Amino acid sequence: MHGNLPHNFPEHRYTHGKQKRVIALGTFSEMLRKVKRLYKKGSYYLVKYDVLTLQSYLAILFWSGLRKTEVIGAKPHKYVLKPTKGPKHKEPIVKFTESIPGILKEDIELKGDTLFIRAVARKHGNREAPLELWVDFPFVDLIIKQWKDTDKGERVWYLTEWDAWKIVKEIEEKKYPHFFRFNRISEMCLNPEMSMADICSWSGLTPQTIAKYMERSGRIIHSAATKMRKQYAKQF
């Protein structure tokens, strides 16, 4: 566990445990409707921003699967790796995260029916090309409106790291920003037409990491079961 977490984040941020079930579009739609209800009630972290910023922030997380800081940016901060019992390191190690600008006005481009979004991959990830979202996808219009309302050179989602986390928690207590990354990658892994290369390119993750997602999604077991069925079909 990292010490000295920034912005007074709780040491264990997954109070309800890591969420391991994907959500459907209908469930996400309800989350967006909930934004308006909570906003009218004066929910502390929500009323610091306008409804469009809040809903479009959730929409970009849902469709892109980007990390929170890949969207809103992050300043470098210090953290400490505690000593391990094994041979890795017996003394605390002080490290600093990298600075990241987040998605700026110039990082998004609308061409025909496609929205192109450039986002720097964090944690040694690699993303060579912009993500592409069809404009007729539900709620992508919210992303486009937020982008159009942003001044040149500015971040499209001007939220603090703490607020970006608390906003999700106030809307759905058991969820957190990184859940949407898990959700998008898991949905991709459940799609048999998505190749390993497709998912790696989109997420910026390594094949080794995506292989773990595929295993957890049940895709590999389902593939094995399908092949077994074909193998023994003539014997039934």
pLDDT tens digits along 140-173: 999 999 999 999 999 999 999 999 999 999 999 9
Among 58-72, 76-90, 175-189, 201-215, the least confident range: 76-90
The predicted pLDDT at position 16 comes to 56
Confidence of residue 7 (pLDDT cuts 50, 70, 90): very low
pLDDT for residue 43 is more than 50: yes
For the whole model, what pTM was predicted? 0.84
Among 11-20, 75-84, 115-124, the least confident range: 11-20
Asked if residue 214 belongs to a domain, the reply is: no
Asked if residue 21 belongs to a domain, the reply is: yes
Asked if residue 195 belongs to a domain, the reply is: no
- Residues 186-224 have pLDDT tens digits of 999 999 899 999 999 999 999 999 999 998 888 889 889
Mean per-residue pLDDT of the chain: 88
Pick 2 or 72 by higher pLDDT. Answer: 72
Rounded Cα gap, residues 216 and 207, in angstroms: 14
Looking up tokens 């391990």 gives 84
Residue type, 235: Q
Domain count, the chain: 1
Rounded Cα gap, residues 117 and 138, in angstroms: 17
Asked if residue 26 belongs to a domain, the reply is: yes
Asked if residue 146 belongs to a domain, the reply is: yes
The predicted pLDDT at position 63 comes to 98
The predicted pLDDT at position 149 comes to 98
Boundaries of domain holding 40: 2-178
Asked if residue 41 belongs to a domain, the reply is: yes
Asked if residue 230 belongs to a domain, the reply is: no
Asked if residue 201 belongs to a domain, the reply is: no
